[in-house]
Amino acid sequence: MDFQQVFGKPPETQASAPGRVNLLGEHTDYNDGFVLPTAIPQSTTVELGFSSDGHHHFYSENLNEEVSILDNHTPSGFASYIFGCIEILQKAGHTIPSLSVYVKSSVPMGSGLSSSAALEVATLRGLRQLLKLPIDDVEIAQFAQQAEIQYAGVQCGIMDQMASSLADTEHILFLDTRTLERRVMPLPEKAEILVIDSGVPRTLATSGYNQRRAECEEAARSLGVKALRDITDVEVTEKLPEPLRRRARHVVTEDNRVLEVLQGVTSERFGELMNASHASLRDDYEVSVPALDTLVELLQKTPGVFGARLTGAGFGGASVALVAAGEARSIATHVLEQYKQAGYTGQILVPSLELSDAA
Ligand code: GLA
């Protein structure tokens, strides 16, 4: 199916946005902290046209599913993100006509690579183009985050939407999520990124995520600071009761790891910081699962791997590793074989097999 076949006429415009992988700085963004994502080659494309029957119609090529908005209730699934973006723009005073929207995506869903942010940012870019809206890329990220919070129910930070709106695949985007100050940095030298899906879909991700966020807010309140970003000395977290002590310790040490990278580090050191991040996410933040721990451990002990960790919110999903340039594929083959022997089935997501074959 294509737009013309579904809606009976060609689209007026189209826009795309990439997924992201976060290299370091996990669960820090809603604590006003620091993150280091980069864009992945996989992206989401949205084609847009005007609908003539007064209702919005959304079609997902991946799901082969059409959703029509007949009564202005928030739909579920992929349509909730598109509907959320439209509603958020309207609340901000923009007039949005009835639309036909066709979505196709190569961003894996449920792997922690921000397929939802890619859909939101692509939708908002498409709407900006179609309606000539005077909004910039940072505002697109902010509207997208609001759509996710208010219409998908995830109390997320702003990392994913900023990465999808502003990052490219050749650089790392350092972002201060409080000030939105950012710096585009080169990838660590002689290294490339390897992303492997654990094959374990994320479970309890929304409830677990929102619970972690609430714990961090409680920890910040107890320590008398606006957000955990305001604590730099990890000793300060020692006085908190469990589990707040460990949650806060993760955030403070993770922020410090990102700030160390900002000073300039070798690929070896970057890898060590990624390994430390995984241990902290597993033991202090408790968002890993056995499959991810196994996958990350296998990666960490493979020659050519500088470091590895879970990426994204956790509770399942993908791992990210920093590996010697040119070796990602052979490392992945080796690790996936051992991962299989441990009883799991993983999949290489970056470097993207499909996209490079197509190129
Ligand atoms: C999800 C959220 C982000 C961020 C990460 C964890 O991807 O959408 O805002 O909090 O989890 O770092």
Residue 149: is its pLDDT beyond 60?
Answer: yes
Please say whether the beta carbons of 22 and 37 come within 8 A: yes
Average pLDDT over residues 27-39: 98
Give me the phi and psi of 95, to 5 degrees please: -95, 120
Ligand 1 atom at shortest distance from the alpha carbon of 27: 12
Q: Which of 29, 32, 177, 228 to mutate to test the pocket of ligand 1 (most atoms within 8 A of CB)?
A: 29
Helical packing angle, 159-166 and 137-147, nearest 10°:
140
**Percent of the chain scored above 90 by pLDDT?**
92
Q: Is 157 exposed, middle or buried (0-12, 13-18, 19+ CB in 10 A)?
A: buried
pLDDT exceeds 50 at position 359: no
The proportion of the chain whose per-residue pLDDT surpasses 70, expressed as a percent, equals: 98
| Calpha distance 244→276 (Å, rounded) | 19
Please give the torsion angle defined by the CA atoms of residues 140, 141, 146 and 147, in that order, rounded to the nearest 10 degrees: 70
**Are the beta carbons of 139 and 14 closer than 8 angstroms?**
no
pLDDT at residue 290, as a whole number: 97
Q: What is the pLDDT of residues 101-114, one digit of tens each?
A: 999 999 999 899 99
Which amino acid type is present at position 188? P
* The length of the chain, given as a count of residues: 359
pLDDT bin (cut points 50, 70, 90) of residue 358 is: very low
Tell me, what amino acid is at 206? T
pLDDT at 55: 97
CATH classification code of 188-351: 3.30.70.890
Asked if residue 11 has its Cβ within 6 Å of ligand 1, the reply is no
Please report, as a single letter, which amino acid is at residue 65.
Answer: E
- Residue whose CA lies nearest to ligand 1 atom number 8: 156
- Taking residue 308's Cβ as centre, other Cβ atoms within 10 Å add up to 28
Q: Residue 205 — very low, low, confident or very high, per pLDDT cuts 50/70/90?
A: confident
Q: Whose CA is nearest to atom 2 of ligand 1?
A: 156
Task: Answer for the pair 236, 271: CB distance below 8 angstroms, yes or no.
Answer: no
Tell me the CA–centroid distance for residue 2 and ligand 1, in Å. Answer: 32
What is this structure's pTM?
A: 0.96
313-351 pLDDT per residue, tens: 999 999 999 999 999 999 999 999 999 999 999 999 999
Distances from the Cα of 339 to the Cα of 194, 333, 343, angstroms? 15, 10, 7
Report pLDDT for 356: 53
What is the position in ligand 1's atom list of the atom closest to the CA of 157?
A: 9
Ligand 1 mean position to 149 CA, how many Å? 12
Helix or strand holding residue 112 (H, E): none
Asked if residue 32 has its Cβ within 6 Å of ligand 1, the reply is: no
Asked whether 141 lines ligand 1 (CB < 6 A), one says no
Ligand 1 neighbourhood includes 26 CB (under 6 angstroms): yes
Asked if the model's pLDDT at residue 204 lies above 80, the reply is: no
Residue 33 corresponds to which amino acid? Answer: G
Which residue of the set 160, 176, 197, 255 is catalytic? 160
Residue type, 214: A
pLDDT at 81 over 60: yes
Q: What is the mean pLDDT of the chain?
A: 96
- Would you state the structure tokens that stand for residue 266, as one six-digit string? 């070798």
Q: What is the pLDDT of residues 252-266, one digit of tens each?
A: 999 999 999 999 999
- CATH 3.40.50.720 for domain 3-185, yes or no, is no
Please give the number of the atom of ligand 1 that sits closest to the Cα of 29. Answer: 10
What single-letter amino acid sits at 162?
M
Report how far ligand 1's centroid is from the alpha carbon of 54 (Å): 35
Nearest CA owner, ligand 1 atom 11: 313
Strand blocks (E) in 23-135 = 34-35, 37-50, 56-60, 65-69, 99-105
| Nearest protein CA to atom 10 of ligand 1, as residue | 27
The answer, yes or no, to whether residue 221 has pLDDT greater than 70, is yes
The Cβ of residue 69 has, within 10 Å, a number of other Cβ atoms equal to 19
pLDDT at residue 201 in the model:
84
DSSP 8-state symbol, 317: S
Among 59, 78, 21, which Cα is nearest to 194's? 21
pLDDT of residue 202: 81
C-alpha angle 176/182/184, rounded to 5°?
135
Q: Is 284 in the pocket of ligand 1 (CB under 6 A)?
A: no
**Cβ of residue 317 lying under 6 Å from some atom of ligand 1:** no
Please indicate whether residue 293 is annotated as part of the active site. no
Average pLDDT over residues 276-303: 98
- Upstream peptide bond of 18 is cis (omega within 30 degrees of 0): no
pLDDT band, residue 72 (cuts 50/70/90) = confident
d(CA 26, CA 313): 7
Q: Is the CB of 27 under 6 A from ligand 1?
A: yes
Residue closest to 121 by CA, chosen among 90, 92, 153, 143: 143
**Residue 313 beta carbon below 6 angstroms from any ligand 1 atom:** yes
What separation in Å is there between the alpha carbon of 50 and the centre of ligand 1?
Answer: 33
Using DSSP bridges, classify how beta strands 305-310 and 318-324 pair: parallel, antiparallel or unpaired: antiparallel
Residue with the smallest CA separation from ligand 1 atom 1 is: 313
Q: Is the peptide bond before 97 cis (omega within 30 degrees of 0)?
A: no
Q: Which of 24, 119, 209, 285 to mutate to test the pocket of ligand 1 (most atoms within 8 A of CB)?
A: 209
How do the domains of the chain map onto residue ranges? 3-185, 188-351
